[in-house]
Structure formats: C-alpha cells, structure tokens
Amino acid sequence: MSSMSRARVARRIAAGAAYGGGGIGLAGAAVVGLVLAEVQLARRQVGNGTLPHVPNAQGLYGPGYATPTEPPLRLTMLGDSTAAGQGVHRAGQTPGALLASGLAAVAERPVELSNVALPGAQSDDLERQVAEVLTGPGPVPDVCVIMVGANDVTHRIPPTRSVRYLATAVRRLRTAGAEVVVGTCPDLGTIELVQQPLRWLARRASRQLAAAQTIGVVEQGGRTVSLGDLLGPEFAANPRELFGPDNYHPSAEGYATAAMAVLPTVCAALGLWPAEEERPDVFRREGFLPVARAAAEAASEAGTEVAAAMPSGPRGPWALLKRRRRRRVPEVEPAPATQSP
C-alpha cells in the first residue's frame, strides 16, 4: 500500500474514532474466513515459551543527581506487555527502566518510574490505567509513555475503537498536565510463527493502526514514535537476538532498540533536547506535513517521531515529522521508589 493510500485509510479510521463511527475492515470479508483458522493456530503457537514474571522496575533512577531543591522527574509507563517489559529477566532491561535511566542522564536529575501497564491489555484498558495514574498518590507525572495496539490487532478490535480509547487517554493525561509519548503499534508481521497470508495481513493491519493512532494522538497534543518499522526489519534479520524466549515479546536487545528510539522524543517533550535539533533537518528528510501524510510515513519508517505543528492548513492539521538520532542507554537497576508526600 502506498503512503498516500495509507494516509487516506488512517484519516478515515481517525475520523471514525473521533465521531463515533463503526469499525473499518482491514481485510475484505472474502479473506476473513481463510485467515481465521491460521489466526487460531498462530495464537496457540505464539507465546508458549517459558517466561519469567514481569520484572518490577519501579523506583528511582539517577539518585546521584538529587538536590534538595528539585524533586525527581516522574515518568509513568502505560499500555500492554511491551510497556510492562514482559520477556526479560532483569528490571534494568525493561523499556521503562531504560527510558528512566536515559532521561535521568540527559536531565541530570533523578527520575522516579512508575508502571501501570498490564500484559495482555488492549486499548480499552487505558481508561482504567489513566484513572489509576490520575487518582493515585503524588503529583501528576511529568511524562507518560504509552505502548499499545498489538493485542487490538490480534483480537481483531475495530481500529476506530482502538484509536478512540487511545485518543481519550492522551487527552485526559494532557489535560491533567502530563506530556505524552506513544510508541505506536509494532509490526506483527515479523513474528516467525505467523505464516502467509496472515503475515501480510498482520503487517498491513499493524501499519494502518499505527498511522491512525498517530493522527489521534497528535490531535490531542501528544507525540508518537513509530515502533513497527523500527523493530520489523531488525527483528526479521535477527529474530534470535531481538525476540524473547516466547518468540513474541522483545528480548533485552529488542527493548533497548525501542528505548533508543523513544528516549529522544521523551526528552524533547520535556524541553530537554537542544533547541537547534528541534528545527527540521532537510538532510534527514524532516519537515512539516499534513498530519495524515506524516502518520503514514512514520508507520513505514524506523523510529520516526510525529508531533503537532500547525492546527490547520490546506489539508487539515499539520505535523512535524522528525527522524531523531538514537541514543544508547545503559542498563541500570532501580533504587527504591521515594515515598510520595
């Protein structure tokens, strides 16, 4: 599917989400029956590896930067098993821990990490997770990172519904004062045990949802980073390195790859990135685009960020598309979480 076609589909999904429309089919009715049996087979095969419990990465990162006059930055992870860090053995290998330690190093300030993500969650669980974040003890997080969408695709949730729940979550968090960064739906077509034609359909559905997620998030004042095409080619080339023992969730190296892509956007959302890097770099093919076109391009390219730019243009809202340089972050175990007042 071309970038322009993907942009049109994403725009329709996002519009349906905003105005309460029904689901838009990602595959024609004629192929659904052909795929159903293979979906069930893949579900039985995928995720049957032996996994440890999800490591508890909550706590304080960068305690050496602490000063009496400045409280820690607060980072909260929401979403599904990817946000929780399922598939690795140590807390420091989870995406939340990697982002927290990287953010602490950039900000030269401690970061307190909390995580309300739930393995197996679909986008409709974000309502509960956001309520937990906003009604819990302590201040509202400075920044929230959401990773969600894969389970919506595997459970054939209408994309309009998925985007509606995500956009509502972003709006509630932004209204409360938190910055929001969303890692969009990963490319499920890279899972080894998924065969054709399901592999092709999974890739198409993943990218369509990722593009529609981007539109919904950006329109609510959040930023997105494409995880699909970032992980896709690398997973396909190095599946033994980047997939965990269940051949479904990322390995420690896979999570590190994702964290490297998301960290610069988290820092930029908090105003911690150098000002000169916020301007579009034409040599990196960055620039201002209609939001649907930016979303479609981001869904097809590794680690691409999309953020709101101009509220209106000749073809609706415009966005800034950035291809930020990735920054490697070390694995660090958390110190005990500080007590909220």
Q: What is the pLDDT of residue 11?
A: 59
pLDDT range class, residue 311, cuts 50, 70, 90:
low
Asked whether residue 161 carries a pLDDT value surpassing 50, the answer given is yes
CA 175 from centre of chain: 20
pTM here is 0.84
Q: What is the pLDDT of residue 186?
A: 85
Strands 59-61 and 73-79: unpaired
Angstrom distances, CA of residue 179 to CA of 6, 78, 195, 235: 27, 13, 39, 30
Which range, 34-38, 41-45, 180-184, 229-233, has the best average confidence (pLDDT)? 180-184
Which range, 88-92, 307-311, 336-340, has the best average confidence (pLDDT)? 88-92
Bridge partners (DSSP) listed for residue 70: 67
pLDDT range class, residue 29, cuts 50, 70, 90:
very low
pLDDT range class, residue 167, cuts 50, 70, 90:
very high
Percent residues over pLDDT 70 in the chain? 70
- List the beta strands (DSSP E) in 117-257: 143-147, 179-183, 223-225
Q: What is the pLDDT of residue 300?
A: 82
Q: What is the pLDDT of residue 322?
A: 92
Give catalytic residues, as residue numbers: 81, 246, 249
The larger pLDDT score, comparing residue 189 to residue 21, is at 189
84 and 56 Cβ atoms separated by less than 8 Å: no
| Burial environment of residue 13 by CB neighbours within 10 A (0 to 12, 13 to 18, 19 or more) | buried
Q: What is the pLDDT of residue 47?
A: 47
**DSSP notation for 239-277:** HHHHB-TTSSSB-HHHHHHHHHHHHHHHHHHTT-S-GGG
Q: What is the pLDDT of residue 216?
A: 94
Q: What is the pLDDT of residue 192?
A: 56
User: Among the listed ranges 98-112, 167-181, 271-285, which one has the minimum average pLDDT value?
Assistant: 271-285
Q: Determine the length of the chain.
A: 341
Rounded mean pLDDT, 12-25: 54
CATH architecture of 3-23+54-322: 3-Layer(aba) Sandwich (3.40)
Cα–Cα distance between 104 and 102 in angstroms, integer? 5
Tens digit of each residue's pLDDT (9 = 90 or more) over 296-308: 888 888 689 999 9
Quote the mean pLDDT of the chain. 79
The C-alpha angle 307, 310, 313, rounded to 5 degrees, equals 125
Q: What is the pLDDT of residue 255?
A: 85
Amino acid in the structure at residue 211: A
Strands 179-183 and 223-225: parallel
Q: Which residues have a Cβ under 8 Å from the Cβ of 274 and sit 6 or more positions away?
A: none
Asked whether residue 55 carries a pLDDT value surpassing 80, the answer given is yes
Rounded mean pLDDT, 223-247: 58
pLDDT range class, residue 317, cuts 50, 70, 90:
confident
Tokens matching residue 96? 């939340």
18 and 57 Cβ atoms separated by less than 8 Å: no
Asked whether residue 38 carries a pLDDT value surpassing 80, the answer given is no
Amino acid in the structure at residue 29: A
Name the one residue in this structure whose structure tokens are 């919904």: 216
Q: What is the pLDDT of residue 49?
A: 46
